[in-house]
Amino acid sequence: MTAAEEDRQVEPVAGPASRQPVLSVRDLRTRFRTPDGAVHAVNGIGFDLHEGELLGVVGESGSGKSVTMLSLLKLLPMPPAEIVSGQALLDGEDLLALDPARLRHVRGAKVGFIFQDPMASLNPVLSVGYQLTEPLRTHLGLSRRAARRRAAALLEGVGIPAADSRLGDFPHQFSGGMRQRVMIAMALACDPKVLIADEPTTALDATIQAQILDLLQRLRRERGMAIVWITHDLGVVAGLADRVMVMYGGQAVERADVRSLYARPQHPYTRSLLRALPKIEGGSRGERLASIPGQPPTLVRAPDACPFAPRCAHAFARCHAENPALAAVTESHEVACWYDAEAGVPRAA
Amino acid sequence: MTHYIVRRLLFAVPTLIAISFILFALLDLAPNDPTGQLPLTIPAEAREQIRESLGLGQPFHIRYARWMEQFFVNEPLNLIEQAFGIEIGDSESRLRVRSWATRSPVVDLIIERLPQTLWVVGLSYLIGILIAVPIGIVSAYRQYSWFDQLGTFVSMIGFSVPTFFTGLLAIIVFSVALQWLPSIYDTTHRVTDLASFWLQIKQMAMPVMVLALFNAAQISRFMRAAVLDNLTQDYVRTARAKGLRERVVLFIHVLRNSLIPVVTLIALGIPTVFGGAIITEKIFRVNGIGELLITAIQGADIPLVQTLSFLFAVLIVLFNLIADVLYGVLDPRIRYG
Ligand SMILES: Nc1ncnc2c1ncn2[C@@H]1O[C@H](COP(=O)(O)OP(=O)(O)OP(=O)(O)O)[C@@H](O)[C@H]1O
Ligand SMILES: [Mg+2]
């Protein structure tokens, strides 16, 4: 690890000071070994997640959002994926150091996952009831009958009418929105402390999207779990998140309280994302963040310079030579940038 | 579902009639002479009489109609009579499809040969499946491991080296050099005690294994591909994210999906079991259906060739239907309206 990389390990800004984070991730690095060379997908990501908090993770396609979260539970295909370094403390246990058997007790029990495409994410040949009872029987040791009752209650809880009679149905017999509700019920089956939602509404149309957002908000209030919400959509994040992490090229470029982020965006990348957001309410919300000129980084090398520099309007010599670490701007706002966008001058070294 | 099956069966009738017509016409066009194998000393008039007695003097459509009657009415009636020991109508005067070569009813010949084929070829198919499915699963799950590489190598040999080569090789090694196994399959052998049972196993070992290797090679590749295809699906990640054991992920989630195309493939392959394995049967002298067919073709025994080919067509149509139905049973997304 170079000195510059070590510099990046700044402690995240604490949330409300007294609380211990539920999940605390440090210096996560994941890469893929491909025939064309390594892909450095995640380069030193760290974040804290507190009880009941919703952390929004935004960034354009390929910025490493999914790989970061999948790395935590080793849900990536290994090989080619390889977790090079990092720590992910949940209840004082480092998830990345757990043996496979212990890790299984975390997956689905303490950490729930919701994925983007609810059709592909459910097994097409097993009934919804069976798939729902699996985590209940595995982690809670419920009997078949008790698990079924619980599964019906879970489906009821995510707003599926006549839940009892639908346990025997197969995923294809549900609509897209209903399938995502089933996924949510499955992820919440064992009352996890942390829910990771990887673009849970991207595959759904706008009205359904709103319903799913409402549902998750309600469940979050009821259960007080912490949520990591991955999305392309800064509009969704604004209405939902407590804190936001902006990712670019496999690293966090800005991390802030949601109000602070929208009021005083620091990083040129965040600023262009916000500018690209449709101004008029009711405009196409789910629009991809594609309107920034230039190409996303290739990730073939571990970054030794700011990954955004080639596309940055403010980049100067230092940006091409050194990778900036996250540094606090205010108590609840950090940015990794050599340029002070508010003042319009390079930051003091 | 019942609706669907009945409809498919009804559709099968015209298909099979068309096939029978084409078969009959093709074989009729082929140069054939039931007296061709007779000694040259037999005079031409006698030959003509023989042809007349076989009904060959009649025009094509009459002969076809008579074959239809014999095959679809007389033979089934005969089978029913034999099965239940009853007599329906005048069974003496009922004409049966008869072999030109042996003059015995074709159906009797087939029934006589079927057990050998079913034992040898059927068992090899079964063993092939039992070997192939686990190998396919492990190969896919441990893709590019030494096991997978070895499996790939052996299957490549399995289906690129023809059975006449592996068969002869097996005979040279196990019969000639090691003298462990008999090289000729004795059909008259009866299992009465442990010793004769052991002999039966020994004489079946080579033909069964040679064919099993061939079947296993194909099915294991197919199984491997199906499992690989499913292992990268999103639902596998979901299953792991739920904290399920790898065993459960593989044998319940992945296997349940991967078996759908494999079961279909296996069902579609069953007619070839009944069809026998001509080359293997020839090499090991198993006088099964394959042997019967090739002898009939060589001797231009048209009724026998006709009947065997047609029965084969019936089986193919039937197992196509069975494969489709199985697909619907295994895959809840398929609904037959
Ligand atoms: N199996 C893999 N092999 C090689 N590279 C991979 C693999 N999976 C992901 N990557 C690479 O890792 C990088 C990060 O991907 P990731 O899926 O985390 O992006 P993302 O931010 O979630 O994007 P999206 O918004 O499109 O979901 C990408 O450059 C991608 O090409
Ligand atoms: Mg993603």
Quick one: three-class SS letters along chain A? CCHHHHHCCCCCCCCCCCCCCCEEEEEEEEEEEECCEEEEEEEEEEEEECCCCEEEEECCCCCCHHHHHHHHCCCCCCCCEEEEEEEEEECCEEHHHCCHHHHHHHECCCEEEECCCHHHHCCCCCCHHHHHHHHHHHHHCCCHHHHHHHHHHHHHHCCCCCHHHHCCCCHHHCCHHHHHHHHHHHHCCCCCCEEEEECCCCCCCHHHHHHHHHHHHHHHHHHCCEEEEEECCHHHHHHHCCEEEEEECCEEEEEEEHHHHHHCCCCHHHHHHHHHCCCCCCCCCCCCCCCCCCCCCCCCCCCCCCCCHHHCCCCCHHHHCCCCCCEEEECCEEECCCEECCCCEECCC
Residue B108 structure tokens: 């009797």
Distance CA A225, CA A216 (A): 10
A306: confidence class by pLDDT, cuts 50, 70, 90: confident
- Contacts of B277 by beta carbon, 8 Å cutoff, 6+ apart: B120, B121, B124, B163, B211, B288, B290
A67 Cβ inside 6 Å of ligand 1: yes
pLDDT, tens digit, for every residue of A196-227?
999 888 777 777 778 888 888 888 888 888 99
The answer to whether B272 and B260 are in contact (CB under 8 A) is no
- Burial class of residue A224 (count of CB atoms within 10 Å of its CB; 0-12, 13-18, 19+): exposed
CA B17 to the chain's CA centroid: 21
| A125 closest CB neighbour out of B240, B242, B256 | B256
The answer to whether the CB atoms of A125 and B243 lie below 8 A apart is no
Cα of B254 to nearest chain A Cα, Å: 9
Q: Residue B337's pLDDT is what?
A: 58
The radius of gyration of chain A from alpha carbons, rounded to an integer in Å, stands at 21
Q: Residue A229: which H helix or E strand, with range?
A: strand A226-231
Name the residue of chain A whose CA is nearest to B254's CA: A123
Is the pLDDT at A325 greater than 80? The verdict is yes
Query: A102 and chain B: CB distance < 8 Å anywhere?
Result: no
Determine the residue of A39, A199, A231, A248 to mutate for testing ligand 1's pocket, defined as the one with the most ligand atoms within 8 A of the Cβ atom.
A39
Distance CA A113, CA B238 (A): 8
A91: confidence class by pLDDT, cuts 50, 70, 90: confident
Distance CA B311, CA A246 (A): 69
Q: How many CB atoms lie within 10 A of CB B317?
A: 19
Residue A64, SS3?
coil
Residues of B in contact with A124 (CB under 8 A): 235, 257, 331-333
A80 Cβ inside 6 Å of ligand 1: yes
Q: Is the overall model pTM greater than 0.80, yes or no?
A: yes
Single-letter amino acid, residue B84: F
User: Distance of CA A120 to CAs A184, B38, B141, Å?
Assistant: 14, 69, 20
CA A340 to the chain's CA centroid: 27
The answer to whether B16 and B317 are in contact (CB under 8 A) is yes
Closest CA to B260 of B336, B335, B155, B334: B334
The answer to whether B228 and B143 are in contact (CB under 8 A) is yes
Per-window interface: A 215-254 vs B, CB < 8 A: none
Single-letter amino acid, residue A218: R
Residues of A in contact with B331 (CB under 8 A): 124-125
User: Percentage of chain A with pLDDT > 90?
Assistant: 20
Residue with the nearest Cα to atom 27 of ligand 1?
A61
Residues of B in contact with A170 (CB under 8 A): 332-333
Residue A300 structure tokens: 């073939």
Residue A92, SS3?
coil
The answer to whether B287 and B113 are in contact (CB under 8 A) is yes
The answer to whether B265 and B222 are in contact (CB under 8 A) is yes
pLDDT, tens digit, for every residue of A156-204?
888 888 888 888 899 989 888 888 889 988 988 888 989 999 988 877 7
The answer to whether A140 and A190 are in contact (CB under 8 A) is yes
Cα of B250 to nearest chain A Cα, Å: 12
The answer to whether the CB atoms of B256 and A123 lie below 8 A apart is yes
Distance CA B150, CA B157 (A): 11
Q: Helices B194-231 and B123-141: crossing angle, nearest 10°? A: 40
Query: A73 and chain B: CB distance < 8 Å anywhere?
Result: yes
Distance CA B133, CA B255 (A): 10
The answer to whether B259 and B251 are in contact (CB under 8 A) is no
pLDDT, tens digit, for every residue of A7-29?
444 444 444 444 688 899 999 99
Residue A243, SS3?
strand
User: Distance of CA A19 to CAs A52, A111, B45, B231, Å?
Assistant: 11, 19, 113, 41
Query: A170 and chain B: CB distance < 8 Å anywhere?
Result: yes
Q: How far is the CA of B334 from the centre of ligand 2 (A)?
A: 31
Kindly list the residues of chain B whose beta carbon comes within 8 Å of any beta carbon in chain A: 232-235, 237-246, 248, 252-253, 256-257, 260, 330-333
Please report the sign of the dihedral spanned by the C-alpha atoms of residue A263, residue A264, residue A269, residue A272: positive
CA B298 to the chain's CA centroid: 20
A64 Cα nearest atom in ligand 1? 18
The answer to whether B104 and B192 are in contact (CB under 8 A) is no
Q: Helices B289-298 and B255-275: crossing angle, nearest 10°? A: 40
Would you give per-residue pLDDT tens digits along chain B (337 residues)? 788 888 888 888 899 999 999 988 888 887 777 776 667 777 777 777 777 777 777 788 888 888 888 888 888 888 888 888 777 777 677 777 777 777 788 888 888 888 888 888 888 889 999 999 999 999 999 888 899 889 888 888 888 888 888 888 888 888 888 888 888 877 777 888 888 888 888 888 888 888 888 888 989 999 999 999 999 899 999 999 999 999 999 999 999 999 999 998 999 888 887 776 788 888 888 888 888 888 888 888 888 888 888 988 998 999 998 988 888 888 888 876 5
Distance CA A206, CA B270 (A): 51
A270 Cβ inside 6 Å of ligand 1: no
The answer to whether the CB atoms of A123 and B239 lie below 8 A apart is yes
- The DSSP code for A305 is S
A56 - beta bridge partners? A229, A244
The answer to whether B321 and B12 are in contact (CB under 8 A) is yes
Single-letter amino acid, residue A202: T
Residue B4, φ and ψ in degrees, nearest 5: -60, -45
Query: Would the ipTM clear 0.90, i.e. be above it?
Result: no
Determine the residue of A29, A30, A31, A32 to mutate for testing ligand 1's pocket, defined as the one with the most ligand atoms within 8 A of the Cβ atom.
A32
Is the pLDDT at A299 greater than 90? The verdict is no
